[in-house]
Amino acid sequence: MREIIFDTETTGLNPAGGDRLVEIGCIEMINRVETGRTYHAYFNPQRPMPSEAEAVHGLSDIFLSDKPLFADKAEELLEFIADSPLIAHNASFDFGFLNHELERCARDPVCLSRMIDTLVLARSKHPGAKHSLDALCTRFGVDRSQRVKHGALLDAQLLAQVYVELTGGRQIGLSLGATTAAVEIESVATVQVERVVREPRPHAPSEEERTRHRSFIAKLTSPLWERFLAPI
């Protein structure tokens, strides 16, 4: 099954109040294994970046000034995500911004039935614990040493590993690329195993074995089975 893990960075918390999407990062997974295909883009929000938001993700007005508008990249993004389920942490936030931007450029919104929220999964699996992405990385042993500031693609890559752990788990770092796996499966399928047919082994005792057995039984004193064979 194909799934897309994604994360966004924004100018603030409220798209209805004028905040805009400035970055999106997407990771493709098939059967909970990363394929290596990603989508990543920055967008010019056409508004100033609040200092509070810049402190979180480090994206400044100058950096974003020459980036494309969301509308210019919408078709490319929609083609990548296709109709796959979309996984995010605190997904209602990311879906809210994504659908607000799609609405601004006269595109259909992404149906909320496609939304999978890892925050909800984490709360269900570990009630009472901390459920931030950093906390979950620590819990599952996911290396987040490169996460100095928030970044959509990096956070999506971390979340992909967390999502696998939340939905059954696999050993961190133990993964096969789709191509490698296919080659190994093909190799196994084409190996010809030579089978050696052996004659059936006789299981009936020889007359000599019977004689030795009778001799051994005769030496037993009050064997257990005699009490069941004795007449009543």
Catalytic residue among 89, 100, 150, 213: 150
Active site residue 150: yes
The radius of gyration of the chain's CA atoms, rounded to the nearest angstrom, is 32
Residue 26 to residue 41: CA distance in whole angstroms: 9
Residue 232 to residue 228: CA distance in whole angstroms: 9
Q: Which residues partner with 86 through β-bridges? A: 4, 115
Alpha helices in 82-225 (DSSP H): 91-104, 118-125, 133-140, 152-166, 178-190, 207-218
Q: Which residues partner with 145 through β-bridges? A: none
Residue 27's SS3 state is: strand
Catalytic residue numbers read 150
